Structure 1
Amino acid sequence: MTAPADWAEQILSCKDDENLTQILSDQEESIKIYKKATDQLTAFNDFSTARFTQIQRHLETHTKLIKEIKNDLDAAFLKIRVLKQHCQERHPAEHEKALERYPPRVVEDD
């Protein structure tokens, strides 16, 4: 005999109405608990979805800003390099004196 059939046989063999009433009561209580848990999980999922959407927009805005700042910095450093090269070509002696007095910093990449 299979487990469900065995269980059904045991339930049907219970002639006591009090036992059957208790089983039905327990089942109804279980359904209430599961429905409440489902409602809570649904509310949490809705909240999480709304919060994720909000944070995603915020992150996209910041990412765009960081990319713009990087492009601005790249353009500024390019202009500085061009100016340094131009000064070196026009005034090599003064450029050497400036490098001796203010040596370039060594920046380590991470």
Structure 2
Amino acid sequence: MDSQLRSTSQNEVEHLDNAVVIAESLVNQVKKSDIDMMVQHQKEMLTRYEKTNEMLINFNMLSAQRCETTSQDFKKHTQMLYEMKKDLDIVFKRIRTLKQRLTKMHPEAFAACSDVCNIIEVENNEDTQSKDDVQTS
């Protein structure tokens, strides 16, 4: 058993010696100045990446602030449009109510006006249809 341990340990020592020899030969093939130059280039690139990263962080913060401001403005404008629509609906409802009252009070005047409006409406429809026909041709 001792002989097996000795042969195993001798094999391991020889294996380690071979590994050390290979590592030393690789180290000897590369010049120290080349390694130093590569390290210097890596440090320069690291500095550039850190500066770029800082600039991107600042840009993202600024963009987030502007996005928040724009979102708030968008919400305000949307609310304003919704309120304007409600106001217009109320105005059109009042106009319809007034028109109905006036129709009851002065039916002959509205009959004459409605004939004129119908003629104008028919002419507008004909113009629209002729334009559509020209566009499809």
> Structure 1 length as normaliser, TM-score?
0.76
Tell me the residue number matched to 1:57.
72
Q: Evaluate the alpha carbon distance shift between residue 81 and residue 21 of structure 1 in structure 2; reply closer, same or farther with a 3 A threshold.
A: same
Runs (4+) off by over 4 Å: 11-14, 104-108
Tell me the residue number matched to 1:89.
104
Which of 30, 33, 38 is the matching residue for 2:45? Answer: 30
Flag the structure with more relative contact order, 1 or 2, with Cα contacts below 8 A and sequence separation at least 6. 1
**Distance across 2 between alignment mates of 1:28 and 1:71:** 64
**Distance across 1 between alignment mates of 2:63 and 2:112:** 62
Which of 57, 69, 73 is the matching residue for 1:42? Answer: 57
Deviates more, 1:43-52 or 1:13-22: 13-22
Gaps of at least 5 residues in structure 2 are 1-22, 126-137
Contact kept, 8 Å, 1:88 with 1:95, in 2: the verdict is yes
Q: Counterpart amino acid of 2:96?
A: R
**Distance across 2 between alignment mates of 1:98 and 1:81:** 15
Q: Evaluate the alpha carbon distance shift between residue 13 and residue 34 of structure 1 in structure 2; reply closer, same or farther with a 3 A threshold.
A: farther
Kindly tell me the number of residue pairs found equivalent between the two proteins. 98
Contact kept, 8 Å, 1:14 with 1:20, in 2: the verdict is no
Percent pairwise identity = 24
Max Rg structure: 2
Tell me how far 1:27 sits from its aligned partner: 0.6
Tell me the residue number matched to 2:85.
70
List per-residue Cα deviations over 1:12-42 (Å, max 9, x = no partner).
5643110010010011011111111111111
Which of 113, 117, 122 is the matching residue for 1:98? Answer: 113
Gaps of at least 5 residues in structure 1 are 1-8
Tell me the residue number matched to 1:5.
none
**Distance across 2 between alignment mates of 1:69 and 1:19:** 73
> Structure 2 length as normaliser, TM-score?
0.62
Q: Counterpart amino acid of 1:16?
A: K
